[in-house]
Structures are given as C-alpha cells and as structure tokens.
Amino acid sequence: MLHVRIMGGRHDDPTVVMLSGPTDSWHSDSAWFAVLQPLLARTMRTYIVDRAGQGFSEGDGRGGYMAFGEQLGNLLPELASEPVIVVAFASANLALHRYFLSHSDGGHIAAALLIDPDALHPELIEFYASQAEPFKDEGLKGYVRSGKYDERARQLHDADREHVLSLLDEQSRFYFAERYFERVMETRLDRKKILSRFREIARYDEDVHGAASVVWPEAVQVWSFDTAFELDAVAGAGEEAERQRYQRWHDLSSEWMQSLPGGCRIASESREHLAVVDQAERLVDVISRIAAGDGCSVPG
C-alpha cells in the first residue's frame, strides 16, 4: 500500500503529482514537499506519493524506483481522470523512465518537471550506480537491528530538520505543513524504515541502469530545474582528480537536461539541493507555466 497525501482537492484541474528522491542523507520521502505542496494547493489539486518503504508507505523497499515506476501505471489513473503533471525531485526521475517503458506515448502523464534529476548521461551512469555498493554489505542489517545505528539516524534526522527550518522565509513558513513534516520525519528513525531505505539504495545501481535504457518520449513535455548543488562537492574535494570528477558531474548533468525533448532547462545559481523548500515559490511559478502550456523561457 502506497501512502498518498492530497491537498487542493476542491480544484479540478490541473493535477500535480509529486515524487521524492534523496538528498545526501539518503532520506527520500514526502517530508521534502511540506512547503511546495501547500503552496501549489492554493490553485491546483496536488498529491504526494511515497515509494514502498518510505514515509508512511508499506513495504520493505526492495522494489525501488523501477517497481515504483511500474506501480505508477495503476496509480495515476486513480488520482485523476486526465493526464497529470508530475514533479520529480532528485532520483525520482528514474521511476518516470520505467513508467515510460510501458507508456511510450506518455500514458497518463501530460508533462513533467525534473528537479536536479539523476542525469542519465552515458558518462554518469557508473558514477551514480557505484553509490549503491556500500549498501550491499549484509552486515548492515544486523548493525541496524542491534540499535547501533540509532544515534547516527538521530543525527541525520536532526541535521535535516534544522536545515529545512533554516531555509524557510516568511512566506514559506506561513504555508509550511509543520505537523505533517514532523510526523514523516519521525518515520526516518524507525529501524524497519532504515532497513527498507538501505535495501532500496542497495539496488540503486539496477534502477540507474534500467532507467538509462529508456528514452524520454517526445510526446511528454519535460522541463528541468537545475541547481548548482554539485559545486559544493567540487569546492570540498580534497584532490584535483576528485574535484574534476565532481565538476564533470555538474557539467554533464546540465548538458543532459538540455538534451531532453524541448530543451526546457531552467538554471539556478543556488547551491542548495533542496530547491523544493528553498525555491518553492519559484517552482510554483514554473509549474503554473507548465500547466498553462507556456514556453520554457524563464529568467535565470
């Protein structure tokens, strides 16, 4: 059973469905949309959906992005009678690629906004896939079950919480769904959820390779929102080879987004990866333009 949260149900059209991906902490649930969803719900019907094992969704996370993309085929028509706009944050774009494997005509998706997606440029596939390797260690299960990871989980939880709160300005704080945010954040401390998250990450390499084999359909309008968050990794690199590797990640990601059908890449100089919080009002404007069928020329 997948957890779905609706806001703005009084609106008939457009319908926006939001899918989350991870930040550096690997947390990848609907807490990240606690600002963007209420802002969008002023004028649109909105849904946020957690993958299996994330947030309040059931399951152990073994399915990952490919399984989730397959599940979207059944879910999206249940949420709206007409094709929807999908907002995919970070790695969530992998699920959309799996969805399009079975719906090459676009299916129930009219348009999509990818926010700092996993750029499936040929040179970046192994860069992403290699991140799964540490989570394949079978010893992690016992480590988490024993409670030895609890303190680290709490540290990541507290750091993420404080970071989100630090990003809120007066407008976003007014709309911030704080109670919902706190409730979802608490699920990140549950050992079963931690194990679920680790199992999903362990098969992240399979998800990346699976998504990379699918071409984005020309029929689906796609916009991308590209922050410069990778440049923090460039600045923090200890060796020149590492610095060049992260710079290449940044450059090729931007190149890949520009290569998507329509070339609707919106660049942001911000190094804040959580654009769904930090730039929520700007994203509302972008999504409104997508819903209106406007062109993608948006000031940087």
At 62 the pLDDT is 73
Lowest-confidence pick of 16-20, 60-64, 222-226: 60-64
Separation between Cα atoms, residue 297 and residue 300, nearest integer Å? 9
Share of the chain above pLDDT 90, in %: 92
Could you say which DSSP state residue 92 is in? G
Beta bridge pairs of residue 74: none
Separation between Cα atoms, residue 235 and residue 243, nearest integer Å? 7
pLDDT digits (tens, 9 = 90+) for 230-253: 999 999 999 999 999 999 999 999
The gap between the terminal CA atoms of the chain, to the nearest Å, is 40
Please tell me the class of the 4-292 domain.
alpha beta
Over 90: is that where the pLDDT of 262 sits? Answer: no
Domain boundary assignment for the chain: 4-292
- Contact at 8 Å (CB) between 48 and 18? yes
Mean pLDDT of the chain: 95
Separation between Cα atoms, residue 14 and residue 47, nearest integer Å? 11
Note the residue count of the chain: 300
At 183 the pLDDT is 98
Separation between Cα atoms, residue 288 and residue 282, nearest integer Å? 10
- Contact at 8 Å (CB) between 29 and 156? no
pTM above 0.85, yes or no: yes
Burial class (CB within 10 angstroms; exposed 0-12, middle 13-18, buried 19+) of 274: buried
pLDDT digits (tens, 9 = 90+) for 137-184: 999 999 999 999 999 999 999 999 999 999 999 999 999 999 999 999
Using CA atoms, how far residue 279 sits from 24, 75, 123, 146, 268, in Å, is 18, 28, 29, 39, 10
Average pLDDT over residues 106-132: 96
At 54 the pLDDT is 94
Over 60: is that where the pLDDT of 86 sits? Answer: yes
